[in-house]
Amino acid sequence: MPKLEKRSWAEPFKIKVVEPLHMTTRPYREHALLEAGYNTFLLRSRDVYIDLLTDSGTNAMSDNQWAGLMMGDEAYAGSENFYHLEEKVREYYGYRYLVPTHQGRGAEHLLSRILIKPGDFVPGNMYFTTTRLHQELAGGTFVDVIVDEAHDPESLHPFKGNIDLHKLESLIERVGADRISYVSAAATVNMAGGQPIAMQNLRELRALTKKHHIRVVLDATRAVENAWFIRQREPGFASHSVAQILHEMCSYTDACTMSGKKDLLVNIGGFLALNDEDIFEEARNLVVVYEGLHTYGGLAGRDLEAMARGIDEAVQEDHIRARVGQVEYVGQRLLSIGIPIVQPIGGHAVFLDARRFLPHIPQIEFPAQTLAAELYLESGIRTMERGIVSAGRDPETGEHHVPKLELVRLTFPRRVYTQAHCDVVTEAVEAVYDRRTQVRGLRMTYEPKYLRFFQTRFERL
C-alpha cells in the first residue's frame, strides 16, 4: 500500500460553538433519497450527516467575523461596512472600483449584460454553470480554451487550469477580436477538479489579449486557493506571500467576479471589482436595478463587514495551508486504497472519477449522479454531481452537453469538519467502492430549463 502523506500540522483554530450532527438509518435514507428524486440538492439538510455538497456559503466564520456582524451599519446608503470592504478589495485584489452583489452570480449577471453583445464569443478555461448561463442569457457563446490535460482526470499536469493560448489565438483569428467580449479566466477551475492556473499563463494571457485589445475577467471565487498552489508549484514563488501572489494574479486582469461564499469565509456575499471607470459607472447603475443600492448590492451591512474581515483571514498562510491540506489528506487516503479520483488533488474538493468507479454505467445513465446517491445511501454523506447533469444542454440543439469529466465532488466547507470526519468519509467511499458492481444507473423524470442539476429528478433503472 502506498504510504500516506504525513500530516504534521493541525487545524489552526479551536472550536467555540458546535452544531449537532444527525445520523440516520439506511431505510430512512432510502426514503429520503426517493423523496428527493435521487438528487442530493433536493435532500433536506436535517437528513444529511456530513455535508460535502459544496464549500459555498457553508464556511464557519471566525469570532472576529461574528463580532463584525454586530458592527453592521444598516444604513440604506453609504454604509461604513461598504467602505471597509472596498478598502480590503483594493488592498488584496488591487482593483479600483467595487460593486457589491448578493453572491457571485449577481456579479456575473451584471458583467455579462454590460460586456456581451448578442453573437459574441466568450472564451474561458472550462465552463462554470452559472457563469456560462449568464453569458448565454446575454447572447454570448462560451468557448472552452482550457489546456487538453484539464479534461483528463489522470493527467498530473500541475496547472490544469491553464488557458491554451493557441486555442485562444485561433478563436481570435476565426471570429475576430471585436466579437470576443472578454476572456473568462477562473482561478481555480472548479469543474476541472479545483485545478490552478499558473502565473506565467496569466502573464502570457495578458500579453496576448493586450495585443488584441481584449479584456480579461478573473473568476476570483477561489483565487486564494489558486495563489497557494502557485506558491507550492510554480518556480520563483516559494518565498512570496499568498497575498502578494493574489495581488499579482489580479494585476494581469481587468476585472473580477467574486463569490465571497468560498474563499472569503462568509455565508453570503459577492462582488464585481474592476478598473475601468466607464464599465464601473454602468455596473453601479445596473446593480440598483437587480441587486440593491451600489453601497449594499443586496447584502446587509453586517454581511459586507463579515466579508471584509474574511479577506484578511483568507490570505493567512496557516489558514490556507490547513484548508487545502485537509482536501489533500482525504485525496491521499482515497488514492492509497485505490479509489479513482481526479489528480492532482484540487483545492476545495476531492473529485471521484465516476467513469472509472462505475465503468458499467454509460454516461447517459448518469454515473456521477448515481454515485452521489449511493454515497448518501451508504453513509448519509452528501456530495454533488459534476458531470453530464451539471453540463446541461446545448441551447441551440437541445442535446446534452457530454463532458469528458464525469465526477462526484466531495467538497470541504472551510473550518467546519475535523480529521475524524474526513476518515469517516473515506471509509464510506470505500464501502461503496466494494459493492460498486451491484450499483445501477438512473433515468431522468423531470428536468428544469436552467441550471438543471439543482432540481432535476431521477428514478432508479
Known catalytic residues?
Answer: 76, 128-129, 219, 262, 386, 453
Give me the helix-helix angle, 165-175 and 199-211, nearest 10°.
20
Among residues 65, 103, 326, 332, the one that binds ligand PM9 under rule CB under 6 A: 103
DSSP state of 398: -
Is residue 215 involved in binding ligand PM9 (CB under 6 A)? Answer: no
Stretch that binds ligand PM9, among 20-28, 60-68, 123-131, 297-305 (CB under 6 A): 123-131
Is residue 54 involved in binding ligand PM9 (CB under 6 A)? Answer: yes
Is residue 79 involved in binding ligand PM9 (CB under 6 A)? Answer: no
State the minimum distance, in angstroms, from the CB of residue 98 to ligand PM9. 16
Distance of CA 77 to the CA centre of its chain: 31
Whole-angstrom Cα distance, residue 429 to residue 273? 40
Tell me if residue 11 falls in helix, strand or coil: coil
Q: Say which residue the cell 457589491 belongs to.
A: 100
Number of residues that bind ligand PM9 (CB under 6 A): 16
Among residues 81, 131, 295, 332, the one that binds ligand PM9 under rule CB under 6 A: 131
Short-list 272, 147, 129, CA closest to 198: 147
Is residue 159 involved in binding ligand PM9 (CB under 6 A)? Answer: no
Whole-angstrom Cα distance, residue 414 to residue 412? 6
Is residue 56 involved in binding ligand PM9 (CB under 6 A)? Answer: yes
Is residue 219 involved in binding ligand PM9 (CB under 6 A)? Answer: yes
C-beta atoms surrounding 393 within 10 Å: 13
C-beta atoms surrounding 414 within 10 Å: 24
Stretch that binds ligand PM9, among 77-85, 97-105, 298-306, 329-337 (CB under 6 A): 97-105
Q: Say which residue the cell 459577492 belongs to.
A: 270
Q: Say which residue the cell 432510502 belongs to.
A: 30
Asked if residues 218 and 187 have their Cβ atoms less than 8 Å apart, the reply is: yes
Stretch that binds ligand PM9, among 1-9, 14-22, 29-37, 102-110 (CB under 6 A): 102-110
State the minimum distance, in angstroms, from the CB of residue 318 to ligand PM9. 24
Residue 433 CA: distances (Å) to CA of 154, 248, 377, 381: 18, 42, 13, 15
Stretch that binds ligand PM9, among 78-86, 122-130, 193-201, 307-315 (CB under 6 A): 122-130
Residues that bind ligand PM9 (CB under 6 A): 54, 56, 103-105, 128-131, 186, 190, 219, 221, 259, 261, 270
